[in-house]
Amino acid sequence: MPLFLMTILWILFFLTLAAWVMTTIVQIFNFWFSLDKRRCFYVPSKDKGLIGIFKEEVSADKRYFYDLGSGDGRILRLAKKDFPDLETVGYELNPILSSYSRILNRISKIDIQILRSDFLEANLQNNSIIYIFLRPQLLLELKNSFSALKNSVIVSHGFPIPYLENKLTKKVYGEPFHTYIYRL
């Protein structure tokens, strides 16, 4: 085999190995990070068609769009494209994910605020659309934050919110997760 081809093959091999090592390190870190009882493991929403589910809930009086536990920020970027007038904010404690989503936002030239802080301590504003994809225990811990909110919509992907049962306006069946929409 010519030396040139051998060199290319070795470079490709080392690049693949480096990518694999990086991915594994990130996954181990994400797993370790999620072991804290206040957090949960990072599972991204399957973004296809998700915004369409709650598009009609975004009336002219809405001012903010939040993703509590925003991961790599994919839902925020979709929301900002569809609702450019809303102030778009993500809370993400995981430093790798929050940095990664800031980089993706910069590349996409999209104006989104990513806060590396705990959403349980967030001061959520009224007139908001709030997207969440969180495990049930965290939904319970958000009860106080949600009870103070007015004229807002909560979109819970994956799990219903038991204490908001009487505010449920729509349940959208999906695979693998359903989505629950509450109007406050």
Nearer to ligand SAM, 65 or 91 (CB): 91
The footprint of ligand SAM (CB under 6 A) covers: 38-40, 42-45, 67, 69-71, 74-75, 91-94, 97, 118-120, 133-134, 138
In whole angstroms, what is the distance from residue 168 CA to residue 96 CA?
34
Query: Smallest gap, in angstroms, from Cβ of residue 13 to ligand SAM?
Result: 32
168-172: strand order across its sheet: 113-115, 87-91, 64-68, 128-132, 153-157, 179-183, 168-172
Say which residue the tokens 């690049």 belong to.
15
Nearer to ligand SAM, 13 or 171 (CB): 171
Nearer to ligand SAM, 10 or 81 (CB): 81
Query: Smallest gap, in angstroms, from Cβ of residue 68 to ligand SAM?
Result: 7
Nearer to ligand SAM, 87 or 118 (CB): 118
Query: Smallest gap, in angstroms, from Cβ of residue 119 to ligand SAM?
Result: 4
Query: Smallest gap, in angstroms, from Cβ of residue 143 to ligand SAM?
Result: 14
Strand residue runs (E) in 19-138? 64-68, 87-91, 113-115, 128-132
**Residue 90 in contact with residue 70, Cβ under 8 Å?**
yes
Which residues contact residue 166 at a Cβ distance below 8 angstroms, ignoring those fewer than 6 apart? none
